[in-house]
Amino acid sequence: MTNITAYIDGQYGTTGLQIQDRLAKHPNVSVLSIPEAQKKDPKLRKEYLNKADVVFLCLPDDASREAVSLIDNDNTVVIDASSAFRTDPSWVYGIPELPNQRSRLKQTQRIANPGCYPSGMTLLITPLVQAGIVPKNYPMVVQAITGYSGGGKTMIADYRAFNKQQAEDGAARLKNLDLNHKHLPEMQAIPELDFAPVFVPTVGNFEQGMLVSIALHGHLLKGSAESIYQSLLTTYQNEPFVTVMPLNDESVLNEGFLAPTACNGTNRIELFVYESDQRIYLVARLDNLGKGASGAAVQNMNCRFNLDETTGLL
């Protein structure tokens, strides 16, 4: 049996805690943990960063860059959950299901865990761009709604402390109206689009869950809704965590509504294609803390160490 030692730098943040929870159930992993009284000891931190087989970085971008600079053990595999390295060509983007990505992940020491929104967007769009159905210069608009846990500890505390009026005001709020969301670089680079999409997410007054959606006009595509559906189905037919739902699937709707929470607590992602009169709507549903963060990190570890990717995630 493969035995892996793991260290989580930033273990008390939202993603770090979720990774800890998953690794606690993993039969192949033992987690190294710095004692509470010594957690700010820089020498001990560097020691742990270098002696683990795999290091999960759950830190802000600059802190992730600093942590990587402290690692001089060539055998240490780093899985970074920040956005610091997601478009760095020396790092491999951590979505194994994307075409040709799994083989690259198995050979690298540096894995950039994807953002939650781009996980949905890239799984929907990348196969369609590669198949030539969606042109690389398509004027892409991406929408999303997410639970407030995606904003980390501060946002979680804010929402949990809301009074009645604040709860009503915060029921659904647009975010990043400067149109410069930090996920834009990977949302353009991974599908190889000519232009970054227009992207404004909505934060809802629920803790976790996510819908990422993309509207397409059929007359601008080189294919139909049926060809989009078949392309996604062919790409992901053998993937344990990706489910391509039936074309125009209404069985999942509750009085016409698609809820964002059905994949919560899992590493699953569901992909939907809806169409009417050349208007096509793509939707990805996932747990922003699962396939959108910690679940993806553990899956990437499994992939890199040649374990069954579902280990510790079912």
Instruction: Output the domain CATH number for residue 175.
Output: 3.30.360.10
Coil, helix or strand at residue 224: coil
| Paired residues of 111 in beta bridges | 79, 92
Q: Which residues of the chain have pLDDT under 70?
A: 1
In-domain check, residue 309: no
C-alpha 171/C-alpha 48 separation (Å) is 42
99 and 193 assigned to the same domain: no
246 and 261 assigned to the same domain: yes
203 and 62 assigned to the same domain: no
Tokens of 189: 């680079």
What is the tens place of the pLDDT at every residue in 90-121?
999 999 999 999 999 999 999 999 999 999 99
Q: Domain span at residue 110? A: 4-114+292-304
In-domain check, residue 263: yes
What confidence score (pLDDT) does residue 1 get?
63
Q: How many domains does the chain have?
A: 2
**Residues 247, 174, 188, 219, CA torsion sign:** positive
C-alpha 143/C-alpha 150 separation (Å) is 15
In-domain check, residue 73: yes
212 and 154 assigned to the same domain: yes
pTM to 2 decimal places: 0.94
Catalytic residue list contains 263: no
140 and 273 assigned to the same domain: yes
132 and 102 assigned to the same domain: no
Cβ-count burial 147-177 (b if 16+ within 10 Å, e if not): bbbbbeeebbeebeeeeeeeeeeeeeeeeee
State the DSSP H helix or E strand holding residue 120, giving kind and residue range, or none if neither: helix 116-130
| CATH label of the domain that carries residue 44 | 3.40.50.720
In-domain check, residue 212: yes
138 and 56 assigned to the same domain: no
What confidence score (pLDDT) does residue 177 get?
94
In-domain check, residue 232: yes
What confidence score (pLDDT) does residue 122 get?
98
278 and 133 assigned to the same domain: yes
